[in-house]
């Protein structure tokens, strides 16, 4: 057993365990960091996971139809390609299995502490003093956040919701004990989760009413199984699989970026593609009108589905566009006064995009809370670090989510950058490094300037942006640029101690 885990398991409430590196979270970010550290022969680390299993969002979300919008061969680590992905787009279960496979293959289990929720982490001038909710303490030189941002379900704030007498649950908290067979089901919301759930449950319910506040831009998914023969080919010739990954990498990055540019020809073409698809799938012009978005493609997350639109053609499925005014014990009342009697309400209402600072009380130099450092807007150094928070690294932190390609590209780049930063500090003979504040400010100004060119800059109420229309979630450039920017740390951008 590794030093980190053996000592952590014997820790008590009074004596802190010392490790070199503490990673918060065992989703794909935490798993990636752990594997890369081991590959660099760094084994003195611990992964702190608040839940009882690994996999992060792919552990938590288990609703019917859950899948990833990114092709499986790109939604996997570049160092752990998988020849036998059975579907072009992986299901949630397949990704969760992939996470578990990585944990097993790279012997990560001994590093992972389950049911270990970090309450606070404070930098004492040399070490990060980490406190878990159960009182245990850990002292680490380096703190890595793999906390993710979309795991706090947003329950809709609707009058009377609590009084509903039937079953009611959020997509991220799916009640697998509740059979929908023959039930009258209401779905609130029409984002990425709803677009997947609706077709998956349409056969079971006796009726489904979908309550839409804004229509989604939906594109054909063209989902298919990857034939056995192709899987065998990839097993025999892994270079072909890598070539395919590069093809997907470039295709998604180039087309995705072009189509998300404000007022671009590709953006207009995307809109035509989606509207043409809607026209082919839905014959009723009134229904088509209701399903037509009134904002730019990409301002909210684009959805892909082969059967979302066509599900509305079924006689027992109805789209309600009148706003919800209240919920009572029997169902939902809309703003026209019409009452919709229901047995089950599914909240496909998304998540609170909480920042790391809201999840864990992180305090940097002189006890300054991260929440305070971000009081005027969340910003980071190259998406990974924050001035005055030495040896603190964030994976999929501010401005590193993309709406057009695989998050794993970002995670891998950030992890490798983080390791190079640690090696740089070591080479220079220092224990800690942190980014310079002036560079960070300039970096963010340039980032937000580039954001203005993108359709997801705001104006449509997407979760990407804050009330002040500040987008601290998405990366406004290509994945290629992201990788290049994080290729190697530049000594002049850091302070060492
Ligand atoms: P979402 O995109 O935030 O969508 C939430 C939906 O609920 C929206 O249609 C929203 O309407 C509606 N809504 C929220 N509160 C409401 C209320 N009080 N009354 C009526 N409608 C309400 O959430 P999501 O679908 O769970 O997706 C969240 C994110 O998770 C995605 O953006 C994506 O990053 C990720 N995800 C990815 C996949 C995938 O890979 N396929 C699948 C699921 C989720 P408005 O638009 O008007 O606010």
* Domain membership flag for residue 239: no
Residues 197, 65: Cα–Cα separation, whole Å: 5
Domain end point (choices 291, 318, 349):
349
**pLDDT greater than 50 at residue 63:** yes
Q: Are residues 345 and 356 in the same domain?
A: no
For residue range 193-239, what is the model confidence (pLDDT) as tens digits? 999 999 999 999 999 999 999 999 999 999 999 999 999 999 999 99
Q: What is the mean pLDDT of residues 444-461?
A: 93
Pocket of ligand 1, candidates 191, 199, 293: which has the most ligand atoms within 8 Å of its Cβ, to mutate?
191
Does residue 172 fall inside a structural domain?
A: yes
Pairing of strands 317-320, 184-188: unpaired
CA 183 to chain centre: 31
Q: Per mean pLDDT, which range of 24-38, 52-66, 327-341, 460-474 is the poorest?
A: 460-474
Say yes or no: 283 and 135 in one domain: no
pLDDT of residue 14: 65
Q: Which of 71, 301, 323 is the best mutation target for the ligand 1 pocket, counting ligand atoms within 8 Å of the beta carbon and taking the most?
A: 301
Which amino acid residue places its CA nearest to atom 46 of ligand 1?
214
Domain assignment of residue 74, yes or no: yes
Per-residue pLDDT reduced to its tens digit, 322-363: 999 999 999 999 999 999 999 999 999 999 877 888 899 999
Domain co-membership, 315 together with 266: yes
Structure tokens, 281? 């799938």
Q: 14 is written with which tokens?
A: 């009074």
Q: How confident is the model over 156-173, as a mean pLDDT?
A: 98
pLDDT tens string 373-422: 999 889 999 999 999 999 999 999 999 999 899 999 999 999 999 999 99
Q: Whose CA is nearest to atom 37 of ligand 1?
A: 192
Residues 165, 78 share a domain = no
Q: By alpha-carbon position, which residue is closest to atom 32 of ligand 1?
A: 301
Q: What is the mean pLDDT of residues 423-436?
A: 98
Amino acid 463: pLDDT: 87
460 C-alpha to ligand 1 centroid (Å): 13
State if residue 486 touches ligand 1 by the CB under 6 angstroms criterion.
no
237 inside domain: no
Q: Would you state the pLDDT for residue 7?
A: 42
Mean pLDDT of 445-454: 95
Q: CATH number of the domain that 82 lies in? A: 3.50.50.60
Q: What pLDDT score does 320 carry?
A: 98
Tokens of 374: 């971000």
Q: In this structure, are residues 295 and 302 in contact, taking their beta carbons and an 8 Å threshold?
A: no
Mean pLDDT of the chain: 95
Residues of the chain above pLDDT 90, percent: 91
Are 331 and 383 part of one and the same domain?
no
Q: Which of 315, 349, 383 is the last residue of a domain?
A: 349
Q: Which atom of ligand 1 is nearest to the CA of 213?
A: 47
Q: Is residue 60 located within the same domain as residue 13?
A: yes
Are residues 415 and 473 in contact, defined by beta-carbon separation less than 8 angstroms?
Answer: no
Q: Is the torsion defined by CA of 136, 416, 487, 252 positive or negative?
A: negative
Tell me: do 271 and 311 sit in the same domain: yes
What's the pLDDT score for residue 5?
A: 45
The partner residues of 142 in beta bridges, in order of sequence, read 21
Of 152 and 140, the one with more pLDDT: 140
The answer to whether 9 touches 77, Cβ cutoff 8 Å, is no
- Distance (Å, whole) CA 369 – CA 437: 16
The answer to whether residues 195 and 332 belong to one domain is yes
- C-alpha to C-alpha distances, 448 to 6, 138, 428, 483, nearest whole angstrom: 45, 36, 33, 18
Q: CA-CA distance, 250 to 111, in Å (whole number)?
A: 35
Q: How far is the CA of 358 from the centre of ligand 1 (A)?
A: 21
pLDDT of 1 strictly over 50 = no
Is 496 close to ligand 1, i.e. is its CB under 6 Å away?
no
Could you tell me if 477 and 361 lie in one domain? yes
Q: State the pLDDT at residue 355.
A: 82
Q: Give the per-residue pLDDT at 11.
A: 54
Q: Bridge partners of 434?
A: 495
Count of structural domains, the chain: 2
Higher-scoring residue by pLDDT: 6, 22: 22
User: Are 87 and 72 a contacting pair, CB within 8 Å?
Assistant: yes
Confidence at residue 27, expressed as pLDDT on a 0 to 100 scale:
98
Residues 150-173 have a mean pLDDT of: 95
413 CB near ligand 1 (under 6 Å) = no
Q: Is residue 19 part of a domain?
A: yes
- Is 150 a residue whose pLDDT tops 70? yes
Ligand 1, atom 3: closest residue by C-alpha? 350
Domain housing 299: 161-217+261-349
pLDDT greater than 60 at residue 4: no
- Is 57 in the same domain as 192? no
Please work out whether the CB of residue 380 comes within 6 Å of at least one atom of ligand 1. no
The answer on pLDDT for 51 being more than 70 is: yes
pLDDT digits (tens, 9 = 90+) for 94-115: 999 999 999 999 999 999 999 9
368 belongs to a structural domain: yes
Residue 153 Cβ inside 6 Å of ligand 1? The answer reads: no
Q: Which two tokens stand for residue 448?
A: 């937000």
- Same domain? For 179 and 127 the reply is no
How crowded is residue 291: how many other Cβ atoms within 10 Å of its Cβ? 23
Q: Is residue 274 part of a domain?
A: yes
In a domain, 337, yes or no: yes
**Whether residue 470 sits in one domain with residue 397:** yes
Rounded to 5°, angle at Cα 168 from 166 and 171? 155
Query: Is the C-beta atom of 191 inside 6 A of ligand 1?
Result: yes
68 close to ligand 1 (CB < 6 Angstrom): yes
Answer with the one of 334, 349, 364 that is the final residue of a domain. Answer: 349
């Amino acid at each position: 057993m590794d030093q980190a885990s053996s000592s952590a398991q014997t820790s008590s409430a009074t004596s802190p365990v010392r490790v070199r590196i503490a990673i918060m979270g065992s989703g794909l970010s935490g798993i990636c960091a752990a594997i890369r550290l081991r590959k660099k022969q760094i084994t003195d680390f611990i992964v702190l996971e608040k839940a009882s299993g690994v996999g992060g969002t792919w552990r938590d979300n288990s609703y019917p139809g859950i899948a990833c919008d990114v092709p499986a061969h790109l939604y996997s680590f570049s160092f752990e390609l998988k020849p036998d992905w059975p579907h072009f787009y992986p299901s949630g279960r397949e990704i969760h299995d992939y996470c578990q496979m990585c944990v097993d293959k790279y012997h990560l289990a001994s590093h992972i502490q389950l049911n270990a929720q970090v309450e606070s982490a404070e930098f004492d001038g040399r070490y990060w003093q980490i406190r878990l909710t159960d009182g245990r303490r850990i002292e680490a030189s380096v703190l890595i956040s793999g906390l993710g941002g979309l795991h706090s379900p947003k329950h809709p704030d609707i009058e009377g919701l609590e009084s509903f007498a039937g079953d009611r649950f959020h997509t991220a908290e799916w009640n697998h004990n509740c059979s929908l067979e023959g039930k009258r089901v209401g779905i609130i919301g029409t984002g990425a989760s709803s677009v997947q759930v609706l077709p998956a449950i349409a056969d079971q319910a006796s009726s489904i009413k979908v309550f839409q506040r804004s229509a989604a831009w939906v594109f054909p998914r063209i989902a298919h199984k990857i034939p056995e023969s192709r899987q065998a080919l990839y097993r025999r010739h892994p270079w072909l699989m890598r070539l395919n990954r590069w093809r997907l990498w470039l295709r998604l990055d180039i087309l995705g970026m072009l189509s998300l540019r404000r007022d671009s020809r590709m953006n207009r073409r995307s809109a035509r593609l989606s509207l043409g698809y809607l026209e082919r799938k839905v014959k009723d012009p009134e229904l088509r009108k209701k399903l037509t978005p009134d904002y730019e493609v990409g301002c909210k997350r684009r959805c892909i589905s082969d059967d979302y639109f066509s599900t509305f053609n079924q006689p027992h499925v109805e789209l309600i566009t009148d706003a919800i005014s209240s919920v009572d014990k029997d169902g939902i009342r809309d703003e026209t006064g019409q009452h919709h009697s229901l047995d089950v309400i599914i909240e496909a209402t998304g998540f609170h995009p909480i920042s790391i600072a809201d999840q864990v009380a992180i305090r940097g130099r002189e006890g300054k809370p991260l929440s305070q450092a971000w009081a005027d807007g969340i910003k980071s150094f190259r998406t990974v670090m924050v001035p005055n928070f030495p040896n603190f690294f964030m994976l999929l932190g501010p401005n590193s989510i993309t709406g057009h390609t695989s998050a794993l590209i970002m995670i891998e780049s950030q992890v490798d950058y983080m390791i190079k930063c640690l090696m740089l500090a070591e080479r220079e003979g220092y224990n800690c490094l942190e980014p310079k504040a002036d560079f960070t400010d300039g970096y963010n100004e340039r980032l937000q300037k580039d954001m203005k060119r993108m359709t997801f800059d705001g104006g449509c109420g997407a979760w990407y942006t804050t009330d002040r229309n500040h987008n601290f979630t998405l990366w406004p450039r290509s994945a290629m640029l992201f990788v290049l920017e994080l290729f190697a740390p530049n000594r002049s951008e850091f302070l060492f101690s």
